[in-house]
């Protein structure tokens, strides 16, 4: 999925509409293999303005992930955006006050779209995915899914606190 900028310029095209599906199958995320059975939909635009090249894209897919709290698999709606200036690596000079996040380098006048999209997906994969904002997770002691049932572990802890509390109350009386 390469775009030849030289050809675009020769054809005097200033805009290229992007609308395609990108299949990745899996992504290796710091040692964790994330399965990506569904393709990523990429919709956007590549445009040339005053000899500068810009890329905007919306990237969307649904992926199967495991909840970070209760570990149950669920379907996660992934969406991210690319909004960057594409700069020829050979001409690029780093300016200190520039936000490097908005610049993507290419070389030989060829833009490797798949690579850019892949990088963007990688950067936007959520570190923590929750099946529900209020997911209660699993009990660290007994491993029970706290969304489904309540275990005794926390109750016991509360009882311990109740035992301690009267003593503390007595202490306070002495002070």
Chain residues that interact with Zn ion, rule: CB under 5 A: 67, 69-70, 131, 135, 139, 141-142, 151, 153
Q: Minimum distance between the CB of residue 125 and Zn ion, rounded to whole angstroms? A: 18
Q: How far is the CB of 66 from Zn ion (least distance, A)?
A: 9
Return the number of the residue (13 or 157) whose C-beta is nearest Zn ion: 157
How would DSSP label each residue in 41-108? EEEEEEEEETTEEEEEEEEEEEEEEE-TTT--EEEEEEEEEEEEEEEEGGG----TTS-GGGEEEEBT
Smaller CB separation from Zn ion, 125 or 135 = 135
- Which CB atom, from 52 or from 141, has the smaller least distance to Zn ion? 141
Contacts of 122 (CB under 8 A, 6+ apart): 27, 29
DSSP summary character for residue 39: P
Please report how close the Cβ of residue 131 comes to Zn ion at its closest, in angstroms. 4
């Amino acid at each position: 999925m390469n775009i030849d900028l030289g050809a675009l310029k020769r054809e005097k095209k200033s805009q290229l509409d992007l609308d395609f599906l990108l299949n990745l199958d899996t992504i290796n995320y710091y040692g964790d293999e994330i399965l990506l059975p569904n393709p990523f939909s990429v919709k956007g635009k590549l445009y040339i303005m005053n000899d500068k090249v810009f890329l905007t894209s919306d990237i969307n897919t649904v992926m199967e992930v495991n909840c970070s709290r209760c570990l149950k698999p669920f379907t996660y709606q992934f969406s991210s955006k690319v909004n960057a200036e594409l700069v020829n690596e050979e001409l690029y000079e780093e300016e200190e006050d520039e936000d490097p996040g908005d610049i993507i380098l290419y070389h030989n006048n060829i833009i490797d779209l798949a690579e850019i999209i892949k990088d963007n997906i990688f950067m936007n994969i959520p570190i923590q995915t929750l099946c529900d904002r209020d997911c209660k997770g699993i009990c660290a002691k007994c491993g029970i899914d706290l969304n489904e049932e309540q275990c005794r572990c926390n109750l016991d802890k509360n009882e311990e606190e109740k035992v301690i509390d009267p003593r503390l109350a007595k202490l306070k009386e002495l002070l």
